[in-house]
């Protein structure tokens, strides 16, 4: 589903960040079968990079039901998106990549992102590479509000689903609210990325208000 062009982009950005010594881990939110994270872990291992972890954040049971009006409640009905944790872990195991350099965080983003955020903050770790594939407005907002301020200056954020209007609107809404202007670079017809040029404090009160307006809270599977 990712295709070669996006994989080549991941490799190039990883190499650039390693060369530039941008600190931080690789985090993917919305992994489906885990191919992008598997590829990133393989690149890091091939380069003998041992101080960067690969984090996979996903419900491993598909997407949640929409909890606010900007999303259509159709994603949760797509059974082909429901891939179990064990299915995602198996290729890592087969390739000898299921080790201390990989971490899995299970649950819908509203619930699964706060714990790794706290873990990264507690261990004084950052993110060098954030790959977002939430598809929905609310999922994209969850990712940005939980992780944006952990991305190092010089680090990059890929929006895999930038062609999906709800995801694009969430990115634009978040950036506008925080007064951020970024240079968004096209990868292909579906995805884009931008790199962080300044430290930003995320408005947690704004996100709390967003969560209060959800019609139903997404619960961890």
- List active site positions: 8
The torsion angles phi and psi of 41, rounded to 5 degrees, stand at -65, -40
Contact 62, 76 (CB under 8 A): yes
End-to-end, the C-alpha distance of the chain in Å comes to 24
Q: Please enumerate in sequence order all residues whose Cβ is within 8 A of that of 209, keeping only pairs 6 or more positions apart, or say none.
A: none
Contact 192, 184 (CB under 8 A): yes
Tokens 């930003």, residue located: 200
Give 25-37 as a DSSP string: EEEEE--TT-HHH
């Amino acid at each position: 589903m990712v295709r070669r062009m996006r994989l080549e982009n991941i490799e190039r950005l990883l190499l650039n960040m390693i060369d530039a010594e941008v600190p931080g881990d690789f985090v993917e939110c919305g992994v489906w079968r885990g191919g992008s994270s598997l590829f990133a872990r393989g690149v890091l291992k091939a380069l003998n990079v041992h101080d960067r972890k690969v984090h996979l954040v996903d419900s491993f049971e598909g997407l949640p039901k929409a909890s606010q009006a900007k999303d259509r409640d159709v994603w949760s009905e797509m059974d082909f998106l429901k891939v179990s944790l064990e299915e995602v872990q198996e290729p890592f195991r087969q390739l000898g990549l299921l080790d201390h350099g990989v971490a899995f965080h299970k649950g819908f983003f509203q619930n699964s992102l706060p714990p790794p955020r706290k873990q990264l903050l507690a261990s004084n770790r950052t993110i060098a590479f954030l790959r977002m594939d939430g598809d929905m407005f609310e999922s994209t907002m969850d990712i940005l509000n939980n992780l944006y301020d952990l991305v190092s200056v010089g680090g990059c954020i890929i929006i895999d689903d930038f062609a999906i209007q709800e995801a694009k609107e969430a990115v634009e809404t978040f950036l506008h609210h925080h007064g951020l202007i970024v240079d968004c670079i096209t990868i292909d017809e579906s995805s884009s990325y931008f790199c962080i040029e300044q430290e930003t404090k995320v408005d947690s009160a704004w996100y709390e208000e967003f969560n209060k307006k959800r019609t139903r809270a997404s619960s961890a599977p």
